[in-house]
Amino acid sequence: MELFVRPGCALSHTVRLALRLKGLDYEVHEIGDLPHLVSPRLPFHEVLAETRTTPVLHDLHRCYIQSHAITEYLDEQYPDPVLLVGTARDRVQARSLIEVITTGILPLIDDGIDAVPTPWPADRAMNWRRHWLERGCRVIESMLGDNPARGRFSHGDSPTLGDCYLAPLVWAAERYGLDLAPFPTIRAVQDACMALPEFAEVALEVDA
């Protein structure tokens, strides 16, 4: 199993966490290595190498894209342990958290900045990122507080798929200097995550 990433891609970090929690062996490569390591007969490989879209998971002779699709694939293909847990109401709570992060925050602080035709001054770009991170964290803090099934983690007392997305978001917030003091629930969940070796090891990898 191979995972193709861009440095600093938070959505790639979510897939790393899911792989670690499931105890799956994988190799990490830069997206630019994709054409050299994956058969040209497979779909997407040329486009992905050109656009540098990540994460890309290569498993069982196929390439898979989009972090949420990949993590749910991993949960179905390798169901021990299950990361998307509980009833339909529980799972929609987790998926809602994931969607807030993947569509409402991370594209704006990553691709949203990189796509600007004329580069912004560093202070303006930083203020942009902090604005969307703070706004997103307010939403997430409210969501976590409103979830009766929240325990030490975003759902219950074991890590789930929502935590695989929340932790990289917090890493990004810390990297861009956002004060997390107004978000005690997020901080408590993150502390529980970072007490686990899987999260601590991935955090070291992405900071390397």
- Report the mean per-residue pLDDT for the chain: 89
Task: Tell whether the model's pLDDT for residue 123 goes beyond 90.
Answer: no
CA 1, 205, 48, 95 dihedral sign is positive
Fold designation for 2-77: Glutaredoxin (3.40.30)
Q: In this model, does residue 109 exceed pLDDT 60?
A: yes
Please tell me the distance from the alpha carbon of residue 85 to that of residue 60, in angstroms, as a whole number. Answer: 25
Annotate 163-178 with DSSP letters as a single string: HHHHHHHHHHHHHTT-
pLDDT in tens, 140-158: 999 999 999 999 999 999 9
b/e per residue 72-98 (b: at least 16 CB within 10 A): bbbbeebeeeebbbeeeebbebbeebb
* Residue 190 pLDDT greater than 60, yes or no: yes
Q: How confident is the model at residue 13 (pLDDT cuts 50, 70, 90)?
A: very high
Contact (Cβ atoms closer than 8 angstroms) between residue 185 and residue 141: yes
Overall fold of domain 88-197: Glutathione S-transferase Yfyf (Class Pi); Chain A, domain 2 (1.20.1050)
Average pLDDT on 76-82 reads: 96
The DSSP code for 33 is G
Domain edges within the chain = 2-77, 88-197
How many whole angstroms separate alpha carbon 55 and alpha carbon 67?
A: 6
pLDDT digits (tens, 9 = 90+) for 33-68: 887 888 777 777 777 777 778 899 999 888 899 999
